[in-house]
Chains A and B, each alone.
Chain A
Amino acid sequence: MKYLQQETVTKRMHSRLKMNGLWKTLFILATSFALLALAVLLFRILSQGAGYLNFDFITNFASRIPEKAGIKAALIGSLWLMAIVAPVSIILGVSTAIYLEEYAKKNKLNDFIRMNISNLAGVPSIVFGLLGLTIFVRLMDLGKSILAAGFTMSLLILPVIIVAAQEAIRAVPNEQREASYGMGATKWQTIVRVVLPAAIPGILTGSILALSRAIGETAPLVVIGIPVILQFLPTGIMDSFTALPMQIFDWAKRPQEEFQYVAAAGIIVLMTVLIFMNSIAIFIRNKFQKRY
């Protein structure tokens, strides 16, 4: 008696394997589509902007004449913005993470804070712009200053930094804390001298990635209404300023074709800054991150 009809099995197996092969190709194609999109995007912007990218472009102010337009004010403005966003968002974010991971007891209030943070991460950036416009620009009367924009951006990336710092702190094994307590250290001593040093690479990596998001973010700046064409550099945090994405947005909107190339050159500068920041983040992650 035969239990297996070899012929039928081979036949059915053949078609099933064929299906498998076909779908595998489709899945690979789907993956390649994403990679291809990135390649086309980068190539397109490089080929459009390379012609306008030179030393003058970096050192000139914005201009009505495409050939003379430069990105100096925007580049310096973005650096000023980071000078506010980095300390404010990292101090607030890491403090919140320490509170949630080391101090917060399991109760309704702390659950609410956690839920609130994850919901805040999903609020569109333009809504943060409305918040900044109402609270910082008008209510606190900071005007369209670096400080007002910096506070707005800090709140926008705060949830990202909190989550990254929480993960980094959670990754520090409890044995290290207990060893520290065992030596007679207090809770705060343990956090400052044991937990934070171990968590710093993770915190830094997450913070840099969050900051690079803040550099590329446009919508909140548009809503706050920061100016685009500036012929001077800011000298303090209460001065008005412009930023890289804002400048690119203005160029991209202009009808003259030449400004498209200027916009592309601006994008190259922006992307270079982002790639630089991301490489630092990856470097820190690979060099200093310990796995327990």
Chain B
Amino acid sequence: MSQSVQQMIAESRKKKGKKFIEKMVPILLFAAAAISVLTTFGIVFTLIFETVEFFTRVSITDYLFGTQWLPFSGKEPLYGVLPLIMGTFKVTFIAIIVAVPFGLGAAIYLSEYASEKVRRTVKPILEVLAGVPTIVYGFFALTFVTPILQTIIPDLKIFNALSPGIVVGVMILPMIASMSEDAMSSVPNSIREGALGLGATKFEVAVKIVLPAALSGIIASVVLATSRAIGETMIVSLAGGSTPLFNFGFTDSIQTMTAYIVQVTTGDAGYGTTIYYSIYAVGFTLFIFTLVMNLLAQYISKRFREEY
């Protein structure tokens, strides 16, 4: 080689293309990153524009405080969103009642009692449970859980709040279990050993030491799971029914916010009708609920985190 290193460097500096690439790349990558921001703006503006159009036809107070949701009754349609919110609330409530004890129990077992081998087999299975498409859960709720519940509760309608609620609970269970397990596993072992050395049993360590230390992570996981349950669509569309009612019964047919959007988009409500715009108002309401939940979860896990 007759070239010295200095010459190589000087030659490489001369190449203009390389410099150009080095300058262009960050710009292109930033453009890609901007897409995700644009998506958020797209969602927010879409929802706001169409919702504003909806409120030129239906008064905002009727929407927010009305207790009757009858968009399909020809002469005088009623757009009071409370029955839909009630439907969503019922399903979410049952789901949380199912998912929190079982999910937390599984998390405590996996983090405090289970051997490494058990944990390594059970965690992937929980991941599989979390990966099952919601349409499959919906089918399961409609054709398996509802008939079984009907033999126990004879009053139960084919479409009800109970069955989709339980199945949504099973769907969000892995989320609570694995996020809480992560939170509990990150509690340092020295604290556990300190308590065990003072004569505490494993249960006392779990409940009095680990649980309080991991509480922020656990609550954040429950809030996130609640947000997921609120936004869940296919299970409630298949097994929940399409009768929005403002009451507290769990055995009758219901309709959630998400199921209403599905009902309208699978039906033949034309573009530009009030019904068409109503799905955006309902979607916006849903978006606000989940956004508040997500921000709350972020706040809790940041604000109350115990650092070790």
Residue on B nearest A133 in the bound complex, by CB: B265
Whether A19 pairs with B109 at a CB distance below 8 angstroms is no
Within 8 A of B (CB), among A95-152: 95-96, 98-100, 103-104, 112-113, 116-120, 122-131, 133-135, 138
**Alpha-carbon gap, A216 to B112, bound state (A):** 34
Within 8 A of A (CB), among B16-31: 18, 21-22, 25-26, 28-30
Whether A38 pairs with B128 at a CB distance below 8 angstroms is yes
A96 and B35 in contact, given A28-B109, A126-B283 (Cβ under 8 angstroms): yes
A58: Cβ under 8 A from any B Cβ: no
A168: Cβ under 8 A from any B Cβ: no
From A79-87, A154-162, A172-180, A193-201, give the one contacting chain B.
A154-162
Taking a contact as CB atoms closer than 8 A, the residue among B22, B204, B279 that contacts A186 in the complex is B22
Whether A134 pairs with B110 at a CB distance below 8 angstroms is no
**Alpha-carbon gap, A27 to B142, bound state (A):** 29
The smallest beta-carbon distance between B290 and chain A, in angstroms, is: 6
Q: DSSP majority for the A interface? A: helix
B194: Cβ under 8 A from any A Cβ: no
**Alpha-carbon gap, A20 to B110, bound state (A):** 15
Taking a contact as CB atoms closer than 8 A, the residue among B29, B105, B135, B293 that contacts A249 in the complex is B135
Whether B29 pairs with A99 at a CB distance below 8 angstroms is yes
Q: Hey, which chain B residues are within 8 Å of A117, CB to CB? A: 36
From B42-50, B74-82, B185-193, give the one contacting chain A.
B42-50
A223 and B22 in contact, given A29-B105, A34-B174, A278-B131 (Cβ under 8 angstroms): no
Within 8 A of B (CB), among A240-256: 245, 248-249, 252-253
Whether A27 pairs with B106 at a CB distance below 8 angstroms is yes
The smallest beta-carbon distance between B66 and chain A, in angstroms, is: 22
The smallest beta-carbon distance between A78 and chain B, in angstroms, is: 12
**Alpha-carbon gap, A30 to B126, bound state (A):** 12
A123 and B233 in contact, given A23-B203, A31-B110, A270-B136 (Cβ under 8 angstroms): no
Taking a contact as CB atoms closer than 8 A, the residue among A35, A37, A123, A135 that contacts B287 in the complex is A123
Q: What sequence of 0s and 1s flags, for each residue 46-71 of chain B, a beta carbon within 8 Å of any chain A beta carbon?
A: 11001000000000000000000000
Q: DSSP majority for the B interface? A: helix
Q: What sequence of 0s and 1s flags, for each residue 183-213 of chain B, a beta carbon within 8 Å of any chain A beta carbon?
A: 0000000000000000001111010000000
A45: Cβ under 8 A from any B Cβ: yes
Taking a contact as CB atoms closer than 8 A, the residue among A30, A96, A126 that contacts B106 in the complex is A30
On chain A, which size bracket covers the interface? Answer: 35 or more
Q: What sequence of 0s and 1s flags, for each residue 170-209 of chain A, a beta carbon within 8 Å of any chain B beta carbon?
A: 0000000000000010111000000000000000000001
Residue on B nearest A250 in the bound complex, by CB: B266
Whether B266 pairs with A245 at a CB distance below 8 angstroms is no
From B149-157, B223-231, B245-253, give the one contacting chain A.
B223-231
The smallest beta-carbon distance between B14 and chain A, in angstroms, is: 14
Whether A212 pairs with B131 at a CB distance below 8 angstroms is yes
**Alpha-carbon gap, A98 to B101, bound state (A):** 40
Whether B36 pairs with A120 at a CB distance below 8 angstroms is yes
Q: What sequence of 0s and 1s flags, for each residue 55-95 of chain A, a beta carbon within 8 Å of any chain B beta carbon?
A: 00000000000000000000000000000000000011001
Please provide the 7 A-B residue pairs with the shortest distance between their CB atoms, ordered closest to farther.
Answer: A124-B231, A30-B105, A216-B133, A95-B32, A27-B109, A99-B29, A122-B294
List, sorted by A's number, 6 A–B pairs whose CB atoms are closer than 8 Å.
A38-B132, A103-B29, A104-B33, A127-B47, A158-B36, A225-B265
